[in-house]
Amino acid sequence: MSKPAVESVEIKACRGISGGNCRFAMPSDDTLPEAIKKVVEQTGWDGFIRTQITGPLLHHHTFKVAVAACPNGCSRPHIADIGIIRAKQPVLIASACSHCGLCGRICPDKAISYNQGEPVFDLEQCMKCGLCMEKCPERAISASEDGYRVVLGGKLGRHPRLATELGGIFCKEQVLAIIAECLFYYMEQYRPKLRFGTLVDDNYKSLMQRLEMAKAVQCKG
């Protein structure tokens, strides 16, 4: 049986996000988890879900958001309703590159090949972890995009589902807008026992249309 829950939202952040020491973590905004909590409160989710259930609030009623400071995902973003993963998309500064080949040797995802000595990034294979930027001795790799990946609809249980990636890299303001819009949509479509992951599967195109404005929210930084 599902365990009792105190709050209707569960926000899990890895230690790299929450200020702990982690050698894989990219520099991150440690205020993001609290900002997510505030946005969820503003949607009215807590009052809504409590009117939709009979009996006590249980763990499976909670909306789960996981925030990770790198693609290793220690906070398990791919099985949360919404997962937020720190990301930097690499781009080469060709004039600074010494053709040393270090970036390709250290890439955990084998996403770097070479053309006449210059690194070429396979952006489909690349996990946007930022390691090549950090380790390049010439500082010849920078970030063309710097923010967060967003994955939607992960869940465990009888019918487990890994979250679906929302293509792109998003700033904090866009992430918060996406979370809010997902919750508004979930509340509109809600029925007993409906999990957000099931909604992502069943109403994917409709949800993507709803998220277009959230994805276009202006970034402050």
pLDDT in tens, 142-183: 999 999 999 999 999 899 999 999 999 999 999 999 999 999
Structural domain harbouring 168: 9-87+145-215
Task: Give the CATH number for residue 201.
Answer: 3.30.413.10
Give tens-digit pLDDT for 180-218: 999 999 999 999 989 999 999 999 999 999 999 999 999
User: What is the reported pTM?
Assistant: 0.94
Mapping DSSP onto H, E and C, the string for 18-82 reads CCCCCCCCCCCCCCHHHHHHHHHHHHCHHHHHHHHCCCCCEHHHCEEEEEECCCCCCCCHHHCCE
Is residue 32 included in any domain, yes or no?
A: yes
Q: How many domains does the chain have?
A: 1
Q: Does 3 map to a domain? A: no
Domain assignment present for residue 195? The answer is yes
